[in-house]
């Protein structure tokens, strides 16, 4: 049986250079091809015009170039853009461009579906189909960078891993993508402009700290009381708040980087004084700030945004305790591009 062709984009620059040397060519040829793949975004060997015909034919026989394709782009009335991205195996993920007056933020996916089971999130209903490869993550960023230049006349400024999936459950590929995004051969972005958002996987938060990734960390907390959190995020049973707390303390001791807690206040779930007090206590463990995020309803209606009095109560409690808090409005709701709404409806 004929060997399955390899995805050439899974090779590092060094591996590509070594491949050419092994073929009796120069290592420089590897650099040229690498540049076509990563700087010029070539989607076929045919496009590599400074490479000889024979070499292109040889590459064609040995490799494929897997790349994503923006299948459908939707624009929200507030300027937000959502891309439905087709992968080489026809699965789809979504990524979002969020413009503000001074920034363009890319919200990217890390998995097709999700490993976790947050009851309020549309992506969780899909179950995890597979992890994204580093280049599939990187390509989402490049697509949004291009759109930012085209529609807003400026490059992408920030990246958040808040699309589909749990980035820390696809750790190696996410970190490889971050490496490419931050390297001068990729986009040369500062890691400080990249935020990884996690539901809170203690072991992987420790690893992230050990690997000195220099990225920012956000944690989807939503409750600082175990029994409440387990109800809405059942994996909290396996990774309870004490373990999360210890991992976050470790993260801070290593990185000195302040953590952002994402928090939604829901009616009859976490809208009491007791809930807010628990959050204040949790916030004292590690330097942090809190983003109170608006709930974006998903279809089954079990969760409802709490009253504005409840959100105000949270805000006042936090401020009184000198904890920075911002209340974040959702963007792109009219095209199902807001947090927790990514579920391939457009596919
Ligand atoms: N798995 C990661 C990243 C994806 S979710 C994480 O959990 O952080 C990105 C953010 O959207 C998280 O803070 C998540 O809690 C929030 N979110 C999920 N569903 C939501 C919904 N329906 N409305 C508003 N935010 C939601």
Q: What is the pLDDT of residues 35-72, one digit of tens each?
A: 998 878 888 999 999 999 999 999 999 999 988 999 99
Closest by CA to 105, choosing from 158, 153, 181, 182, is 158
Q: Does the pLDDT of residue 1 top 80, yes or no?
A: no
**Count of positions (residues) in the chain:** 347
pLDDT recorded at residue 347: 42
Tokens of 119: 């009851």
Q: Whose CA is nearest to atom 4 of ligand 1?
A: 162
In a 13 Å sphere around the CA of 130, the CA atoms on its Cβ side amount to 11
Q: Does the pLDDT of residue 344 top 70, yes or no?
A: no
**Cα-flanking dihedrals φ and ψ of residue 312, to 5°?**
-60, -40
Q: Which domains does the chain have, with CATH numbers?
A: 6-64 (1.10.150.530), 69-335 (3.20.20.70)
> Residue 110: CB within 6 Å of ligand 1?
no
Q: Whose CA is nearest to atom 9 of ligand 1?
A: 162
> Residue 221: CB within 6 Å of ligand 1?
no
Query: Between the CA of residue 232 and those of 97, 245, 264, what are the distances in Å?
Result: 28, 18, 11
Question: What is the spatial distance between Cα 21 and Cα 13, in angstroms, rounded to a whole number?
Answer: 12
Query: Between the CA of residue 138 and those of 21, 129, 174, what are the distances in Å?
Result: 27, 19, 9
Determine which one of 107, 118, 288, 339 is catalytic. 339
Q: Whose CA is nearest to atom 11 of ligand 1?
A: 339
Mean pLDDT of the region 9-33: 95
Q: Which residue has the tokens 């983003």?
A: 291
> Residue 342: CB within 6 Å of ligand 1?
no
SS3 161: strand
Burial class (CB in 10 A: 0-12, 13-18, 19+), 254: middle
Question: What is the spatial distance between Cα 55 and Cα 256, in angstroms, rounded to a whole number?
Answer: 50
Report the separation in Å between the CA atom of 26 and the middle of ligand 1, taken as the mean of its atom positions. 48
In a 13 Å sphere around the CA of 204, the CA atoms on its Cβ side amount to 18
pLDDT recorded at residue 345: 60
Ligand 1 atom having least distance to the Cα of 199: 7
User: Between residues 15 and 338, which one has the greater pLDDT?
Assistant: 15
Report the separation in Å between the CA atom of 263 and the middle of ligand 1, taken as the mean of its atom positions. 9
pLDDT recorded at residue 61: 95
Mean pLDDT of the region 14-32: 96
Q: Whose CA is nearest to atom 13 of ligand 1?
A: 220
> Residue 220: CB within 6 Å of ligand 1?
yes
Q: Is 339 known to be catalytic? A: yes
pLDDT recorded at residue 232: 96
Q: Is residue 196 a contact partner of residue 216, using CB atoms and an 8 Å limit?
A: yes
Instruction: Give the confidence band of 218 by pLDDT, cuts at 50, 70, 90.
Output: very high
> Residue 199: CB within 6 Å of ligand 1?
yes
Determine which one of 54, 61, 94, 277 is catalytic. 94
**Cα-flanking dihedrals φ and ψ of residue 99, to 5°?**
-90, 140
Residues sharing a CB contact under 8 Å with residue 340, sequence separation 6 or more, in sequence order: 118, 120, 121, 122, 123, 296, 298
Query: Between the CA of residue 185 and those of 10, 110, 156, 180, 204, what are the distances in Å?
Result: 15, 22, 16, 7, 27
Q: What angle do CA 76, 82, 88 make, to 5 degrees?
A: 160
How do residues 249-294 score in pLDDT, each as one tens digit?
999 999 999 999 999 999 999 999 999 999 999 999 999 999 999 9
How do residues 161-173 score in pLDDT, each as one tens digit?
999 999 999 999 9
Alpha helices for the chain (secondary structure H)? 13-22, 27-38, 53-62, 134-152, 171-182, 202-210, 226-232, 241-255, 273-283, 308-320
Give the residue, out of 106, 126, 197, with the most ligand 1 atoms within 8 A of its beta carbon, to mutate for a pocket test: 197
């Amino acid at each position: 049986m004929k060997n399955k062709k390899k995805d050439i984009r899974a090779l590092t620059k060094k591996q590509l250079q070594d491949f050419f040397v092994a073929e009796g060519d120069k290592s420089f040829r590897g650099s040229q091809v690498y540049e076509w793949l990563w700087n010029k975004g070539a989607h076929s060997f045919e496009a590599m015009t400074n490479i000889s015909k024979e070499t292109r034919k040889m590459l064609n026989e040995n490799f494929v170039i897997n790349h994503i394709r923006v299948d459908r782009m939707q624009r929200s009335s507030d300027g937000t853009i959502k891309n439905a991205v087709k992968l080489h195996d026809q699965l789809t993920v979504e990524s979002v461009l969020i413009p503000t007056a001074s920034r363009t933020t890319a919200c990217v996916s890390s998995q097709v579906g999700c490993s976790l089971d947050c009851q309020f999130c549309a992506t969780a209903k899909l179950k995890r189909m597979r992890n994204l490869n580093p280049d599939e993550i990187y390509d989402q960023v490049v697509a949004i960078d291009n759109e930012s230049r085209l529609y807003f006349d400026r490059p992408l400024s920030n990246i958040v891993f808040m699309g589909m999936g749990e980035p820390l459950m696809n750790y190696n590929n996410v970190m490889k993508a971050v490496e490419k995004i931050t390297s001068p051969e990729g986009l040369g972005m500062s890691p400080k402009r990249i935020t990884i958002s996690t539901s809170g996987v203690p072991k992987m938060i420790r690893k992230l700290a050990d690997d000195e990734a220099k990225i920012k960390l956000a944690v989807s907390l939503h409750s600082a009381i175990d029994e409440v959190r387990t109800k809405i995020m059942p994996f909290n049973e396996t990774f309870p708040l004490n373990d999360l707390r210890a991992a976050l303390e470790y993260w801070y001791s290593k990185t000195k980087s302040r953590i952002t807690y994402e928090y939604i206040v829901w009616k009859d779930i976490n809208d009491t004084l007791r809930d807010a007090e628990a959050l204040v206590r949790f916030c004292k463990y590690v330097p942090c700030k809190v983003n109170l995020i608006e709930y974006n309803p998903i279809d089954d209606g079990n969760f409802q945004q709490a009253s504005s009095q409840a959100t105000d109560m949270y805000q006042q409690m936090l401020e009184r305790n000198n904890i920075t808090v911002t209340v974040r409005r959702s963007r792109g709701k009219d095209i199902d591009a807001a947090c927790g709404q990514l579920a391939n409806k457009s596919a």
